[in-house]
Amino acid sequence: MRILVVDDEVDLAEGIAAALRKDGYAVDVAHSGQEALDELAHTEYDLITLDLTLGDLDGREVCRRIRGGSAVDPSVRILMLTARDGIDDRVAGLDDGADDYLVKPFALRELAARVRTLLRRDGSATDSVMRVGALVLDDARREVVYDETPIRLTAKEFALCRYFMAAPGTVFSQEHLLEHVWDQAADPFTNTVRVTVGTLRRKLEAEAGTTVIETVIGAGYRLVEPVA
């Protein structure tokens, strides 16, 4: 999952980004409303943490432009961050299109939990556990198990596994995975996606004893349901 952190407080923005990267997300940072809109115009994000008070465009204006614009995916999830704790401010932000609202100061653990909640594609999910057949990923505990056997993954392998498990059966191209699981520092001319998919596949299939990630020739990769 790829996240854009928007905050004009540089230290805070970098702190949030570092915490989210530690959780395996691909994270980019913008320090103004216009910079955020510029990033959104050419990069597809799954979620934005958006500060309400910015030096140029405020968070509410950025939010309105995202929800009403044609150049940005209007379905991107928006977590509004602000020091304003009045009910009118929270209602206004939600009315402008924010999906959730977090008041500063906040604990990074709570921010991470809000992000996990917003990024769940299955609206029926009620916790941080994802299941595809015998394969289980616990996002809060940072654990992946197959038929109750733990599988040790790197942070990037975990992020890739989480992305596949959010949409089992969906074919993702290398370009799509690079866009959503890696950040802007990734070199698009390397084989990093192919290599990481390969190491993840070997680790999962060593436990499953069957195909878990399929290569679809000319299209990309998909997660298939392993059976214990």
Query: Which pLDDT tens digit goes with each residue over 207-226?
Result: 999 999 999 999 999 999 87
- Of the three residues 78, 97, 119, the one that is the final residue of a domain is 119
Quick check: is 124 in a domain? Answer: no
Q: Identify whether 228 is part of a domain.
A: no
**CA–CA distances in Å: residue 156 to residues 2, 57, 178:** 12, 34, 11
In this structure, what CATH number is given to the domain that contains residue 35?
3.40.50.2300
Same domain, 142 and 106: no
Residue 92: the pLDDT is 77
Q: Are residues 31 and 79 in the same domain?
A: yes
pTM for the predicted model, two decimal places: 0.72
Locate 57 and state its tokens.
């465009």
Three-state SS annotation for 60-101 = HHHHHHHHHCCCCCCCCEEEEEECCCCHHHHHHHHHCCCCEE
Is 178 within the bounds of a domain? yes
**Cβ-proximal residues to 27 (8 Å cutoff; 6+ apart), any chain:** 2, 3, 4, 5, 17, 20, 21, 183
Domain identity same for 49 and 136: no
Same domain, 113 and 11: yes
The pLDDT, as a whole number, for residue 123 is 44
At 176, which CATH number? 1.10.10.10
The reported pLDDT for the residue numbered 75 is 76
Q: Please identify, among 98, 119, 140, the residue that sits at the C-terminal boundary of a domain.
A: 119
Show the DSSP H helices in 9-154 as ranges.
10-22, 33-42, 59-68, 87-95, 108-119
User: Number of structural domains, the chain?
Assistant: 2
| Cα–Cα dist 8/5, whole Å | 10
Q: In this predicted structure, what is the pLDDT of residue 228?
A: 55
| Residue 75 belongs to domain spanning | 2-119
Task: State whether 75 and 107 are in the same domain.
Answer: yes
**Considering only CA atoms, which of 207, 217, 204, 114 is closest in space to residue 157?**
204
- As given in the structure block, the two tokens for residue 40 are 């959104």
148 and 97, same structural domain?
no
pLDDT confidence of residue 84 = 74
Which of residues 119, 143, 175 is at a domain's end? 119
> How confident is the chain (228 residues) per 10-residue block, as mean pLDDT?
92 93 91 92 91 86 82 80 77 83 90 88 58 90 91 93 92 92 80 94 93 94 81
Rounded distance, CA 48 to CA 27, Å? 10
CA gap 5, 13 in Å, rounded: 6
Q: Is 126 exposed, middle or buried (0-12, 13-18, 19+ CB in 10 A)?
A: exposed
32 and 61 Cβ atoms separated by less than 8 Å: no
